[in-house]
Amino acid sequence: MTLRSDYTAGTISIAAGATAVTGSGTAWSTAGFAEGDLLFADGYFGIVGSVTSDTALTLAQPWRGGTLNGMGYRLRYQGDGSRISAQARQLIDLLGNSGNLEALGGLQGVANRLSYFTGSGQMGLTTLTSFARSLLDDADAATARATLGAVQQSGGTGQGPNLVRLGWANDGSGLLAQVDATPMGALWTNAYVEADPAARRAKLGAQANLGFTPVQQGGGTGQGVNKIFLGWDNTSLRGQVDYVDIGRIWSDFGSGRQMAATGYQRIPGGPLIQWGSSTNSNYSDYYQPLPVAFTSACWAVAPVADNIMPAANALSITVSQLTKNGFDIRSRVLSAGGALTGHLGTLVHWIAIGD
């Protein structure tokens, strides 16, 4: 059988100025036609742009002839030599004019080195260690993190893309964290766990960070775990245990006192104790003022005489006319003969209590 130089099976249809060609009784795809092959019909020819099926192909340019319906045709294969020459020319144009091949050819092959571009048409070598190669062959981020021994930053539920930094403190005090530019302080780790609470607070720097020395609540001998409240009521310090108000707390501030030979001291609950000494060389009965006035009343005064008398005489000190501001002192001596007279210059120590 004589071999045909062209493919002529079936007929074609194409509109003037169009690129779509429809075949009837054709098998173009099966016959292996492709881009670059030639179509001849009615004295005109076109270059095949693509073959989409056995009965459809597209021209690279619009058909210059007239409209054809069921017309005979010829399809001619483009020689492989032409295709290879065109591809080679294109490859030469792509690589030969950039200087890249020349730059690559100018490098000397050295173990554990990687070539890279340093500019247009220029290349250099950089070190590529075995560890770097073990990272380059990792298929995904999780595998790369495993190779690096790294912890993934963010990506968890409710986490943002912030830059998180971890590092050991310069003073060796512990592990510090920072998010973006904000220091987060020391991280809690097992290194901070101490059996003794006081030692744990000291390691954490809790007391130093407070700026003052705190008082531990409870934990002492015979003490419970009750919640203790301390507060100022605008006049004094008050205390409360759980829900029980225990009232004002005794302190020097709220007591009011004068610690001297003649003085006073207020005690919890409000009572005021006053004391002093007195003597009078002119009168056996005289008025003794108090260091400070009682708010309500003077409840009682206890006087004591500090004089040495003859064994046969008896000295008696009494008080009367108790007021908020003072009281009367009465000094008497009972002589051996039974005479009762006033005694001058008696040294009297006294103590008074009131509110």
Given pLDDT bands bounded at 50, 70 and 90, which one contains residue 211?
A: low
pLDDT of residue 102 exceeding 90, the answer is no
257-354 CATH fold: Immunoglobulin-like (2.60.40)
Q: What is the pTM of this model?
A: 0.37
78 Cβ partners below 8 Å, 6+ apart? Answer: 34, 36, 37, 38
pLDDT of residue 3 exceeding 60, the answer is no
Identify which has the larger pLDDT, 269 or 286. 286
Give residue-wise pLDDT tens across range 228-282. 888 888 877 788 888 888 877 766 555 567 788 899 988 877 799 999 999 999 9
Give residue-wise pLDDT tens across range 13-71. 999 999 999 999 999 999 999 999 999 999 999 999 999 999 999 999 999 999 999 99
